[in-house]
């Protein structure tokens, strides 16, 4: 590939919640850069490491055998100070001092907001790779980590189904998804859940209770109700409490899957996606495409400006929601 920019050394960091496949993305960034005679510096703990100059040189062997590992070898953090202008100016100084010509940020929309400010205010070349289990990023069919997370949730819910059936229990299972119901909706379809509560659709407790009573009349003695942590009642504990008040003779339990959804060896799909996006990110920098997120839509690598990726919503598939209701009759 012909070099159209003067990028000789790039930095790479992971930011926000970790996601399985981030390591595969780091590996792809490092190896693609080296292939193009570009040096790579790893920045530890997201934007925090940028502020305190926690930099490590990365060679090809630095990323050996990490493709199968969950988490991120560069570690990650939430770094609220990065919202302050002086702190970002300090980060810029550190990048210049270390002769880092461009940056790859692997994270969610929050991380892209920070990255976009480096691009917009300082004209610094930055690109982003969508890494979050929530799948809530505009400009890509899926985000790195989503596939692994839903598979982890599905195998946990399958186990809960056994106990639900043995003891005639209704389980309210809380899955992650701060602002979006992708994890909930996909796991609900895949586990044949009786109901799904997501942030995008108002939770109507009365309707839910009537639905549960209908199930009982059909001799369903147990059930799984998937609750996205971001649904509008406030999560599985709050919903189940309200349901119990209305249906006191129902045997109800709550299970929160929590951070197990963020860990574990990435699925094949996540490893492949991360490899493609990591490769695409370095190519974007070489081609002089800055201030963009690299995504995959309909099997094509596409570039979406940070402005769009941060302001537009990845909509859930309402059809999928309807199908999940039909199939749980
Ligand atoms: P994610 O990237 O997964 O959405 P967060 O929302 O926690 O996770 O964002 C990760 C980090 O990105 C934050 O801790 C902060 O350092 C940075 N960030 C988020 N929003 C902004 C913003 N508006 N301005 C500057 N930096 C931001
Ligand atoms: O953004 C990923 C995510 O796992 C969300 O689903 C969840 O709400 C949040 O991170 C939890 O973050 P933390 O581990 O910082 O509490």
In this structure, are 194 and 138 located in the same domain?
Answer: no
Asked if 308 and 138 count as a contact pair (C-beta separation under 8 A), the reply is yes
Q: Whose CA is nearest to atom 12 of ligand 2?
A: 17
Q: Read off the pLDDT of residues 196-224 as tens digits, 9 standing for 90 and up.
A: 999 999 999 999 999 999 999 999 999 99
Q: Are strands 223-228 and 55-58 parallel, antiparallel or unpaired?
A: unpaired
Q: How many domains does the chain have?
A: 2
In this structure, are 100 and 117 located in the same domain?
Answer: yes
Q: Whose CA is nearest to atom 2 of ligand 2?
A: 17
Q: Are strands 102-107 and 170-175 parallel, antiparallel or unpaired?
A: unpaired
Residue 80: pLDDT band (50, 70, 90) is very high
| Domain contains 1 | no
Rounded distance between C-alpha atoms, residue 103 and residue 248, angstroms: 56
Rounded distance between C-alpha atoms, residue 15 and residue 103, angstroms: 13
Higher pLDDT, 313 or 135: 135
- Average pLDDT, stretch 221-231? 97
Asked if 148 and 123 count as a contact pair (C-beta separation under 8 A), the reply is no
Rounded distance between C-alpha atoms, residue 16 and residue 328, angstroms: 35
In this structure, are 176 and 300 located in the same domain?
Answer: no
In this structure, are 14 and 141 located in the same domain?
Answer: yes
Query: What is the total residue count of the chain?
Result: 329
pLDDT for res 6? 86
Residue 5: pLDDT band (50, 70, 90) is low
pLDDT for res 291? 98
pLDDT for res 1? 45
Q: Which two tokens stand for residue 187?
A: 């796991």
Per cent of the chain over pLDDT 70 is: 98
| Domain contains 230 | yes
- Cα atoms found within 13 Å of the Cα of residue 252, Cβ hemisphere only: 21
Q: Please check the confidence at residue 93 and state whether its pLDDT lies above 90.
A: yes
Q: Please check the confidence at residue 2 and state whether its pLDDT lies above 80.
A: no
Q: Domain of 249?
A: 148-262
Phi-psi map region of 14: left, alpha, beta (phi>0 left; psi -120 to 50 alpha): beta
Q: Whose CA is nearest to atom 1 of ligand 2?
A: 17
3-state secondary structure of 20: coil
Rounded distance between C-alpha atoms, residue 289 and residue 299, angstroms: 20
Mutate to test the pocket of ligand 2, among 176, 236, 263 (most ligand atoms within 8 A of CB): 176
| Domain contains 324 | no
Q: Which two tokens stand for residue 301?
A: 């690598």
| Domain contains 168 | yes
pLDDT for res 225? 98
- Average pLDDT, stretch 306-324? 93
Q: Would the CB of 270 count as within 6 Å of ligand 1?
A: no
Q: Please check the confidence at residue 4 and state whether its pLDDT lies above 60.
A: no
Mutate to test the pocket of ligand 1, among 13, 16, 137 (most ligand atoms within 8 A of CB): 16
Q: Read off the pLDDT of residues 22-67 as tens digits, 9 standing for 90 and up.
A: 999 999 999 999 999 999 999 999 999 999 999 999 999 999 999 9
Please provide the average confidence, as pLDDT, over all residues in the chain. Answer: 96
In this structure, are 174 and 247 located in the same domain?
Answer: yes
Q: How far is the CA of 17 from the centre of ligand 2 (A)?
A: 6
| Domain contains 162 | yes
CATH at 231: 3.40.50.460
In this structure, are 130 and 19 located in the same domain?
Answer: yes
What radius of gyration, in Å, describes the C-alpha atoms of the chain? Answer: 22
Tell me which of 238, 262, 286 is where a domain ends: 262
Q: Would the CB of 136 count as within 6 Å of ligand 1?
A: no
Q: How far is the CA of 227 from the CAs of 148, 158, 279, in angstroms?
A: 19, 15, 36
Q: How far is the CA of 47 from the centre of ligand 1 (A)?
A: 9
Q: Please check the confidence at residue 326 and state whether its pLDDT lies above 80.
A: yes
In this structure, are 138 and 17 located in the same domain?
Answer: yes
Per cent of the chain over pLDDT 90 is: 96
Residue 3: pLDDT band (50, 70, 90) is very low
Ligand number, closest to the Cα atom of 179: 2
What are 176's strand-pairing partners? Answer: none
Q: Read off the pLDDT of residues 151-175 as tens digits, 9 standing for 90 and up.
A: 999 999 999 999 999 999 999 999 9
In this structure, are 284 and 140 located in the same domain?
Answer: yes
CATH at 113: 3.40.50.450
């Amino acid at each position: 590939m012909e070099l159209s920019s003067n990028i000789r050394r790039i930095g790479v960091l992971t930011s926000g919640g970790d996601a399985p496949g981030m390591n595969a993305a780091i590996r792809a960034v490092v190896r693609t850069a080296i292939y193009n005679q570009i040096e790579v510096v790893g920045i530890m703990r997201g934007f925090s490491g940028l502020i305190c100059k926690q930099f490590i040189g990365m060679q090809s062997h630095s990323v050996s055998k990490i493709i199968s590992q969950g988490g991120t070898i560069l570690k990650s953090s939430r770094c609220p100070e990065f919202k302050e202008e002086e702190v970002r100016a300090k980060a810029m100084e550190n990048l210049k001092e270390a002769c880092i010509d461009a940056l790859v940020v692997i994270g969610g929309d929050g991380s892209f907001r920070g990255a976009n400010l480096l691009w917009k205010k300082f004209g610094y070349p930055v690109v982003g790779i969508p890494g979050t289990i929530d799948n809530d990023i505009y400009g890509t069919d899926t985000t790195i980590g989503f596939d692994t997370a839903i598979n982890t949730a599905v195998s946990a819910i399958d186990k809960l189904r056994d106990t639900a059936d043995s003891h005639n229990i209704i389980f309210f299972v809380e899955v992650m998804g701060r602002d979006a119901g992708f994890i909930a909706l996909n796991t609900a379809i895949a586990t044949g859940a009786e109901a799904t509560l997501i942030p995008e659709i108002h939770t109507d407790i009365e309707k839910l209770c009537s639905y549960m009573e209908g199930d009982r009349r059909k001799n369903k003695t147990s059930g799984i109700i998937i609750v996205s942590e971001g649904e509008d009642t406030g999560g599985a504990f709050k919903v189940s409490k309200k349901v119990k008040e209305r249906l006191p003779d129902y045997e109800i339990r709550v299970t929160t899957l929590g951070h197990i959804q963020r860990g574990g060896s990435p699925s094949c799909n996540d490893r492949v996606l991360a490899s493609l996006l990591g490769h695409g990110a370095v190519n974007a920098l070489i081609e002089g495409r800055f201030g963009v997120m690299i995504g995959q839509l309909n099997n094509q690598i596409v570039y979406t400006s940070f402005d769009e990726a941060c302001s537009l919503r990845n909509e859930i598939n309402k059809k999928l929601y309807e199908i999940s209701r039909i199939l749980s009759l």
